[in-house]
Structure 1
């Protein structure tokens, strides 16, 4: 009975928070789009390909593509990898709206979409099991890596389209079964064809598609780590350096951060490793603008910034009450911006440029000075999110949650203290 009362109270709090968020949406966002999917997606990614402008559109709208998938769960339905197009405004600033002469569905001076016509699936690819992670190759976006609970798949969209037109079926070009890892997938942004994943327990795998033949079993180019690494811990996340394609890193269940140089003659042992967090280390992400800066998150409820030139102490740490951040992503446009997820219903945005900002006494309980924005538009756990790579909308994010909600949103630029154009640290 106590558990039922607790759930009802949580639902009541969620409902009240959502109502408050919806009421304040016009003052917090430049753009908001909400869509209910047939099934929840555990993953989402913007394609970074050419943007198609819509002809004869007064708002200069443009089409961008998104990658996501389905997790049908207990329904035992077929799962699919989905490529979809979404119509987005093409102008730099939202149009000004007469606040005293708005239509009934207008939300203020920002753009709000709820119609299903804004998001249209271009193609669905049958997927064996739930799509738990899907990532397209930066240089060849028709090549997509996915995984379910155990297996790794590589799809070629062009081949899938050809197969579907001929036989009405689609299949991956490469498969590796029994991966036994739940880490994310990450393509090397500097060297085409290199994919980084967890492998088994204490190991990380580097896959090279340039040396693979289609329709063959996928074999790892390198396996980093060894079986005698119980003291290191289980691999939770693996990530490439964004400036040096030979360097990668992993975060482990025992709080360790492992660094490898894949050119080394002995990749069974990491080039460097250190304890970054008390308890587990969940994520590691290198800054796309810096040779040295990276950040990690852990079960100690900290997000830590590090410098490769001195791994003995943190550059900086951020703590938000007792929240454990399990997903981190740097902005592709601004070197100080990043966003993070916890197991609650929110997306948190931080600006490292605000480290030394002083808080007013009434602001202290709201979080650290680096906390720039909280997106509260979801009423269930947020599974994944991704920054839009398009320079026209540098603050735009797509997020997906467990209750089938798919949102594209752009916080107001007034929350950012500096220019969001690309720059180097």
Structure 2
């Protein structure tokens, strides 16, 4: 018993020494975190001060919980006031395990005309922080909270053939299921406490984020972390439960999925670094074509509907531009995000064929003009980023979770974004800045 007791004492002493080392090390880590947070807040305050010189419009709304996704829906132009536009925007919640999750349906008022410079001042308004614009209308309203089982990984409005959006919203749930909601059937007064989708698309039983539409075939595409890809038809919604009409399973988690300009082909990207093409006419589990996109996970894909080219974004912060007809090598590589930040989202502008935006797992969203590929930069410009970079948005104080372009043709270069800082942000680049050659306007630029 003596020896056991001595061993126990020795172990206790060793644990005490280790605990003291951890505590001392913890002090260092805490100090580093404090310095980093202070630096972030300094940059954020600079961003607010400089926002009037960088944006035509900015609004920042704090939500109760962070949203993992955002999408723009139907818009309503007011015949009595042609200077504003009301648009439906959907976001989700990512709550703690004990709190219920919801799909939020919001009505947001946006200015259609350029604000005078004296209005481009960041301040606290009645419904949000940002630029104020003259109108008696309420500028932000949550008109429905739709109960949702688990957090809402991805949100997409169903687009129509004319480019507009219908009030049908697809959500990708954390359990793998895909749900379709008619948001017109819900209101803030209904006080939903149980999820009641119009349709549930089943068969996908793992977490995932990829969600896209094949408009020609009226299909919706999803992917999951178990390596599966499922394709469903939304042409007939008479049944409450819909099974997949096409499914395959890959050997690595699938991080994103995209349609192409060929309605028979599906693009996907995987955790093992491969980019895959599946032909739905061929009944096999193996991809029709595949290429190693990176030695690290490829997280996001974006199709340019105008050219048929697509972009891929990876864990090492690189963006690659591909021609699907010549799939062996990328057409171009952009060293997009500094310090090899993982790219989590890519989106081409719906109205500007050469404009691409990316978000990393940090605080910034970058915008690129692919027409600038090949432009030479001097040493000073190189320090700002690649030649294609035309703007960086730094309005978030924590990691970006999602962003999307507004598809309204009068709201060019207009983006909505969400972050782990619980904020929902809408911002529109100052158009004259984009015409300045070799200029990269950023939210950290010292222009005070």
Give the TM-score normalised by the residue count of structure 2.
0.81
Give SS of 1:377's match.
coil
**Structure 2 counterpart of 1:127:** 148
Give the superposition deviation at 1:359.
1.7
Question: Within 2, Cα distance between the matches of 1:168 and 1:302?
Answer: 43
Give the superposition deviation at 1:30.
0.6
Are positions 1:205 and 2:205 aligned together? no
**Structure 1 counterpart of 2:175:** 150
- Contact 1:14–1:379 (8 Å) recurs in 2: yes
- Contact 2:173–2:179 (8 Å) recurs in 1: no
Give SS of 1:416's match.
helix
Are positions 1:335 and 2:360 aligned together? no
**Structure 2 counterpart of 1:294:** 310
Give SS of 1:51's match.
strand
> Which one of 361, 374, 391 corresponds to residue 356 of structure 1?
374
Give SS of 2:131's match.
strand
- Are the structure 2 counterparts of residues 269 and 25 from structure 1 closer, same or farther at C-alpha, using a change threshold of 3 Å? same
Question: Within 2, Cα distance between the matches of 1:12 and 1:81?
Answer: 33
Q: Greater CA deviation, 137-146 or 324-333? A: 137-146
Are positions 1:224 and 2:248 aligned together? yes
- Contact 2:203–2:244 (8 Å) recurs in 1: no
- Are the structure 2 counterparts of residues 155 and 397 from structure 1 closer, same or farther at C-alpha, using a change threshold of 3 Å? same
Count of residue pairs brought into register by the alignment: 397
Unaligned segments of structure 1, at least 5 residues? 419-425
**Structure 2 counterpart of 1:261:** 279
**Structure 2 counterpart of 1:421:** none
Give the superposition deviation at 1:416.
2.8
> Which one of 79, 89, 100 corresponds to residue 66 of structure 1?
89
**Structure 2 counterpart of 1:172:** 197
Give the TM-score normalised by the residue count of structure 1.
0.86
Give the superposition deviation at 1:300.
3.2
Question: Within 1, Cα distance between the matches of 2:183 and 2:52?
Answer: 41
Give the superposition deviation at 1:142.
2.6
Question: Within 2, Cα distance between the matches of 1:383 and 1:113?
Answer: 26
Question: Within 1, Cα distance between the matches of 2:157 and 2:378?
Answer: 44
Q: Give the number of the structure whose alpha-carbon radius of gyration is greater.
A: 2
Question: Within 2, Cα distance between the matches of 1:41 and 1:134?
Answer: 10
Are positions 1:138 and 2:159 aligned together? yes
Question: Within 1, Cα distance between the matches of 2:423 and 2:204?
Answer: 30
Question: Within 1, Cα distance between the matches of 2:296 and 2:150?
Answer: 31
Give SS of 2:44's match.
helix
Unaligned segments of structure 2, at least 5 residues? 1-26, 437-448
> Which one of 36, 42, 50 corresponds to residue 62 of structure 2?
36
- Contact 1:284–1:294 (8 Å) recurs in 2: yes
Are positions 1:412 and 2:430 aligned together? yes
**Structure 2 counterpart of 1:284:** 301
**Structure 1 counterpart of 2:208:** 182
Q: Deviation string for 1:177-206 (max 9, x for gaps)?
A: 7621313211223333x1101146222110
Q: Deviation string for 1:293-336 (max 9, x for gaps)?
A: 11111123310001122222211001133222121000001111
